[in-house]
Structure 1
Amino acid sequence: MADKRDYYEVMGVPKNATDEEIKKAYRKLAKQYHPDLNPGDKTAEAKFKEVNEAYEVLSDKDKKARYDQFGHAGVDPNFGGGAGGGSPFTGDIDLGDIFNSFFGGGFGGGRSVNPNAPRRGSDTEATVNISFEEAAKGCRKNISYQKIDSCVDCGGSGAKKGTSAKTCPNCGGTGQVRISQRTPFGVVQTSRSCDRCGGTGKVIDDPCGTCGGTGRVRRQKTIEVNVPAGIDNEQILSVSGQGNAGSNGGPAGDLRVYVNVRPHPIFERRGNDVWCEVPITYTQAALGAEVVVPTIDGRVSYQVREGTQPGDVFKLKGKGIPRIGGRGRGDQFVRMTIEVPKNLTQKQKEILQEFDNVAEEKNYQKRKNFIDKIKDMFGD
Structure 2
Amino acid sequence: MDYKDYYKILGIEKTATTEQIKKAYRKLARQYHPDVNPNDATSEQKFKEINEANEVLSDPDKRQKYDQFGADYQRYEQTGAGGAGRGPGGFDWSQYAQGGGQGGFGGGGSPFGGEGSDDFSDFFSSMFGGMGGGAGGRSTRPGAGQDYQADLELTLEEAYHGGPRTITVQGKNLRLTIQPGVADGQTIRLRDQGGPGRNGGPSGSLLITLRILPDARYVRTGDDLTQDVPVSLYRALLGGSQTVETLSGSVKITIKPESVNGTRLRLRGKGFPVYRQEGKFGDLYLRLNVQLPQHLTDQEKDLIKQLAQLRGEEI
Amino acid of the residue matched to residue 278 of structure 1? V
The residue correspondences of 1:196-215 to structure 2 (distance < 5 A) are none
Aligned equivalents of 1:290, 1:51: Cα separation in 2: 64
Alpha-carbon deviation of 1:324?
1.1
Aligned equivalents of 1:60, 1:90: Cα separation in 2: 32
Aligned equivalents of 1:234, 1:265: Cα separation in 2: 19
TM-score (norm 1): 0.52
Contact 1:96 1:110 in 2 (8 A): no
Amino acid of the residue matched to residue 210 of structure 2? V
The residue correspondences of 1:237-256 to structure 2 (distance < 5 A) are 237-256=188-207
How many residues align structurally? 224
Amino acid of the residue matched to residue 319 of structure 1? K
The residue correspondences of 1:338-357 to structure 2 (distance < 5 A) are 338-357=290-309
**Residue matched to 1:94:** 111
Aligned equivalents of 1:96, 1:317: Cα separation in 2: 72
**Which of 216, 226, 231 lines up with 1:275 in the alignment?**
226
Q: For residues 184-229 of structure 1, give each alpha carbon's deviation from its aligned partner in whole angstroms, at most 9, with x where no partner exists.
A: xxxxxxxxxxxxxxxxxxxxxxxxxxxxxxxxxxxx2111011111
Aligned equivalents of 1:293, 1:287: Cα separation in 2: 18
- In structure 2, list runs of 5 or more residues that go unmatched: 1-23, 55-79, 84-107, 115-122, 134-138
Contact 2:150 2:208 in 1 (8 A): yes
SS in 1 for 2:140: coil
The residue correspondences of 1:176-187 to structure 2 (distance < 5 A) are none
**Residue matched to 1:128:** 152
Q: Does 1:307 align with 2:298?
A: no
Call closer, same or farther: CA 1:26–1:117 in 2, change over 3 Å: closer
Call closer, same or farther: CA 1:62–1:117 in 2, change over 3 Å: closer
Contact 1:96 1:107 in 2 (8 A): no
Amino acid of the residue matched to residue 109 of structure 1? S
**Residue matched to 1:231:** 182
Alpha-carbon deviation of 1:357?
1.6
RMSD between superposed Cα atoms in Å: 3.6
Contact 2:154 2:213 in 1 (8 A): yes
**Residue matched to 2:63:** none
Call closer, same or farther: CA 1:293–1:249 in 2, change over 3 Å: same
Q: Does 1:108 align with 2:99?
A: no
The residue correspondences of 1:39-78 to structure 2 (distance < 5 A) are 46-47=38-39, 53=44, 56=47
**Percent identical:** 24
Bigger mean CA deviation after superposition, 258-267 or 53-62 = 53-62
Q: Does 1:334 align with 2:291?
A: no
Aligned equivalents of 1:60, 1:318: Cα separation in 2: 49
Contact 2:145 2:195 in 1 (8 A): yes
**RCO higher in structure (CA 8 A, sep ≥6):** 1
Aligned equivalents of 1:295, 1:267: Cα separation in 2: 9
**Residue matched to 1:294:** 245
Q: For residues 12-43 of structure 1, give each alpha carbon's deviation from its aligned partner in whole angstroms, at most 9, with x where no partner exists.
A: xxxxxxx9xx98x959x99xx97xxxxxxxxx
**Which of 118, 138, 141 lines up with 2:142 in the alignment?**
118
Higher strand share: 1
Aligned equivalents of 1:260, 1:280: Cα separation in 2: 33
Aligned equivalents of 2:250, 2:49: Cα separation in 1: 51
Call closer, same or farther: CA 1:59–1:353 in 2, change over 3 Å: farther
Call closer, same or farther: CA 1:266–1:55 in 2, change over 3 Å: farther
SS in 1 for 2:127: coil
Alpha-carbon deviation of 1:111?
4.3
